Structure 1
């Protein structure tokens, strides 16, 4: 019997082919059929939530500046997409692109994109820790979601973190939102589990799922816990997740994963 197909979640957008966390990456993911979009959020010095993974801009903009010490205007002036295609300017035949698609993206703009899209799309938002702003990140996140009316049980949003403290803050501020506890290994899961609500979603990385499929199977079949997995790019890993009953796969290649699932009888 073929098990239900997992939801296809675009990891930082279609990040295998576009610069991560840019509007261009998310538009490409949507065009490729992604059912949900994953993003990391950090708080700027002037209080804006931006979609940035790293603590600093060194990797994506060749700047050592720390995100939390920069204002939004400074971040928006950076080129955060050229690193992905360093030889693009030498290609005379490449099509012109909208420069707005390659800038640092605010979470507000991403929420607007999802709200205005022609079909339902969900969001998986990860708050990054540790950070100098601690719980202010979750507070600002919930305040922004409230502006969109997205804090109820029917909200197309779930909040993820490697910090169970961060998830506890979100539960206190928005009790109806789904929460995902991200873990890299068994030890992290067993340490966090006593502090989690029974309805919290487990979020293991694909390495953990490969190494300990029985643990994942017990989570789902014995304890009734929902499981979302990151980052799932290879067809064999997609099939493993589906066979185990994992509910969502977060992937750099949402189009390829979606086509694989559609072509394998899902």
Structure 2
């Protein structure tokens, strides 16, 4: 079976990350799943933003956790993609629906409206001033959609073991994805995480430590890899037989592996 193809922050090689446009493009391409990072605003909304500060990805400044949703809604999250790196900024062609801040609720609504099953990998960002409130808000939203069950199309990822343990306590049937960047981190995590937890190593870790990569896959634990964007990286994932490839370049990966016969790999949630 081929691996699940997951659009990292949407089709982020083509359009500004975490914007509605990027996710719509990924859906048009036919990806199996969408990936997003979430942070909590000061007035309690989960928004799809990677950085704690909006400086890199918008035409404004401010820390997400100290801003209200209405403040974020005034910002253009695609302006940086329209501006040349070494020249004056272009006049923004701002479409609030397409290029504005995207709430997790809105992303879930779009996924729920799809005629086919599309899954969502939600990464909660830590550390944050709101700590466990992020996971509580997330599970609350999952409950509203009826997605806090074993057959949920949503899986929760984090580099924080404490955050994932919290999710597991709030939604016991959901399978967390334990993200880690270095092979040396896994021996400390392995005794802590459940046997049904998914391992989420970075592609660099697997390529630099082929023996570790093989042992991890052969252990029987499902493996979801981030972020594979090159021919060599994708081939590593295919050779290992991982369950999901998270990529900034969904069109490229679909061209590379999407035509393989058979269904996607083991359903992650």
**Which of the five TM-score ranges fits, normalised by the shorter chain?**
over 0.9
Once the 2 structures are TM-superposed, how far is the Cα of residue 5 of structure 1 from its aligned partner?
1.4
* Residue ranges of structure 1 left out of the alignment (5+ in a row): none
Q: Counting helix residues as a fraction of each chain, which structure ranks higher?
A: 1
**Corresponding residue pairs, total:** 258
Once the 2 structures are TM-superposed, how far is the Cα of residue 216 of structure 1 from its aligned partner?
2.1
SS in 2 for 1:125: strand
Task: Give the aligned partner of residue 23 of structure 2.
Answer: 26
- Structure 1 stretches of 4+ with a deviation exceeding 3 A read 87-91, 96-99, 262-266
Report the more deviating stretch, 57-66 or 44-53. 57-66
Q: Residue 231 of structure 2: which of 231, 235, 256 is its match? A: 235
Whole-angstrom CA distance in 2 between matches of 1:64 and 1:21: 17
8 Å CA contact retained: 1:56, 1:63 = no
Whole-angstrom CA distance in 1 between matches of 2:260 and 2:144: 40
Matches within 5 A, 1:1-266: 4-86=1-83, 89=90, 98-221=95-218, 223-262=219-258
Once the 2 structures are TM-superposed, how far is the Cα of residue 190 of structure 1 from its aligned partner?
2.1
Once the 2 structures are TM-superposed, how far is the Cα of residue 63 of structure 1 from its aligned partner?
3.3
Relative to structure 1, is the Cα distance of residues 35 and 113 closer, same or farther in structure 2, using a 3 angstrom cutoff?
Answer: same
Relative to structure 1, is the Cα distance of residues 76 and 99 closer, same or farther in structure 2, using a 3 angstrom cutoff?
Answer: closer
Task: Give the aligned partner of residue 265 of structure 2.
Answer: none
Relative to structure 1, is the Cα distance of residues 23 and 263 closer, same or farther in structure 2, using a 3 angstrom cutoff?
Answer: same
Provide the aligned C-alpha RMSD in A. 1.8
* Residue ranges of structure 2 left out of the alignment (5+ in a row): 263-269
TM-score where L is the length of structure 1:
0.92
